[in-house]
Amino acid sequence: MLMHMHDSAISQRGGRALGRVLATRHRSRYISFAGLNSNSFARLSSPPVTTVCKTPRNRLRYSLLNPYQVHQLHTSNMPAKTAILTQNAPPPLPGVLSQGIVANGTVYCSGQVAVDPATGKMVEGDIQARTHRVIQNLKAVLEAAGTTIENVVKVNVFIDDMSNFAKMNEVYMQYWGDVKPCRTCVAVKTLPLGTDVEIECTAVLP
């Protein structure tokens, strides 16, 4: 029994795309997928049935695969989320959050305030001094995750008063590289530890 499949657009970060038909014999049947590793083929062992799978661009018909196997073909190479923890940034609240998470080639950084990781205390000075410290904390988390501040694509800034907007920006614009990331800045009633600025960001891995 020979199954034919047209070119597909199924792809995963860090994984291979399913491509043109290459016939591979499995238990006296021909199952053809290009780009599958040996672990993927090893899973094709339970009773075969016909399953229809929808993708954003294609509607593909998988013959001889049960629903569990179809799911495994899509998820076997997907990276799990990984928590980032570095001593070069303030420690996260235990059981509440992570400094950062890496998932699917993206780094998500929790909001940082101007706590010096060396002392565990809020830095003294004005909002400009604290903005420097906040961004340095974020930079440490990004580097621990394997990326850099120049790879940040989205930033959210929280300040306690819009009267501090210009001063914060004077420091902010010194970072992030030549192509500045997208940004949102809002004023809020209260920030952690009574500080005047908190920043979070999202970056991509190089």
Domains of the chain listed by start with CATH number: 1-78 (no CATH), 82-204 (3.30.1330.40)
Mean pLDDT, residues 121-130:
97
Beta-strand pair 115-116/59-62: unpaired
pLDDT per position as a tens digit, 68-101: 554 454 445 556 899 999 999 999 999 999 999 9
* Structure-token pair, residue 29: 């049947």
Q: What is the pLDDT of residue 91?
A: 97
Cα dist from 168 to 4, 138, 203, whole Å:
60, 16, 21
Mean pLDDT of all residues belonging to the chain: 77
Mean pLDDT, residues 12-25:
38
Using CA of residue 191, residue 194, residue 197, residue 199, what is the dihedral sign? negative
Q: What is the pLDDT of residue 133?
A: 98
